[in-house]
A = this chain, B = another copy of it.
């Protein structure tokens, strides 16, 4: 972003509002990891954060409000796209970032809790959709750069390439429940790139 966000809670970074938000989101994540979405309660988050219940209710409204803001914050904290000058290296950086995230005890459990919640809660689904939309848009830029350098065919759909990099990792993580290893990440890069070079991502 070119200028600081002016939305409530972020106008005075380091101020009381920001500190309260940080404590509440930290507590939300702790509770999600330990109890899952169904175990998440406003009162417990408030107690764990050391913040008044009325503040939590007023600012976040509901547990899905907490989850949406947490996902928003995780998107803010996620790394910008790589720009190594090589599409293969950029896509590898993306795959390894996903690999690290899903295999990180705390972060991986957070994603899995929200993925589980989203199967039966539309607001949780919306939070997930917003998170991945931002991440895909950010990393799609590496494909646009590759097209400009002549590494990939004109018209290659960057968002689709980025989805294709992540898909095999998440498929194993939450669907087939198989290990998500470095080899899985590397193969996803090789295979996606082979298809992209063959023009299969031109739309």
- Tell whether A128 is near chain B: CB-to-CB under 8 Å: yes
Say yes or no: A120 contacts B129, CB within 8 Å.
Answer: no
Quickly give the copy total for this chain: 2
**Chain A binding surface SS class:** helix
Q: Does A200 contact B (CB under 8 A)?
A: yes
Residues of B within 8 A of A147 (CB): none
| B174 and A164 form a contact (CB under 8 A) | no
CA distance A82 to B177 in the complex (A): 25
Given contact pairs A119-B116, A120-B116, A191 touches B164 in the complex (Cβ within 8 A): yes
Tell me, in angstroms, the Cα distance from A187 to B167 when the chains sit together. Answer: 14
Q: Which residues of B contact A113 (CB under 8 A)?
A: 119-120
C-alpha spacing A195/B125, complex, angstroms: 31
Residue in B closest to A133 when the chains form the complex, CB atoms: B176
The smallest beta-carbon distance between A113 and chain B, in angstroms, is 7
Partner of A167, one of B120, B167, B190, B201: B167
CB distance from A150 to the nearest CB of B (A): 19
Q: What are some 14 contacts across the A-B interface (CB < 8 A)?
A: A36-B120, A115-B115, A115-B174, A128-B175, A164-B191, A166-B171, A167-B168, A170-B170, A170-B174, A191-B200, A192-B195, A194-B199, A195-B200, A198-B198
A167 CA to B166 CA, complexed, in Å: 9
Q: Is B119's CB under 8 angstroms from A175's CB?
A: no
For A192, the chain B residues whose CB sits under 8 A away are 191, 195
Q: Distance (Å) between the CB of A136 and the closest chain B CB?
A: 7
Given A36-B119, A190-B200, A200-B191; A168-B174 close (CB under 8 Å): no
Asked if A129 and B176 sit within 8 Å, CB to CB, the answer is yes
Residues facing B in A156-186 (CB within 8 A) are 160, 163-164, 166-168, 170-172, 174-178
Residues in B whose Cβ lies below 8 Å from that of A187? 160, 200
Instruction: Please tell me if the beta carbons of B128 and A177 are within 8 angstroms of each other in the complex.
Output: yes
Report the minimal beta-carbon distance from A10 to chain B, rounded to whole angstroms: 25
Given contacts A38-B38, A194-B198, 11 further A-B contacts (CB under 8 A): A113-B119, A115-B119, A116-B116, A129-B176, A129-B178, A133-B176, A166-B175, A171-B171, A191-B192, A191-B200, A195-B198
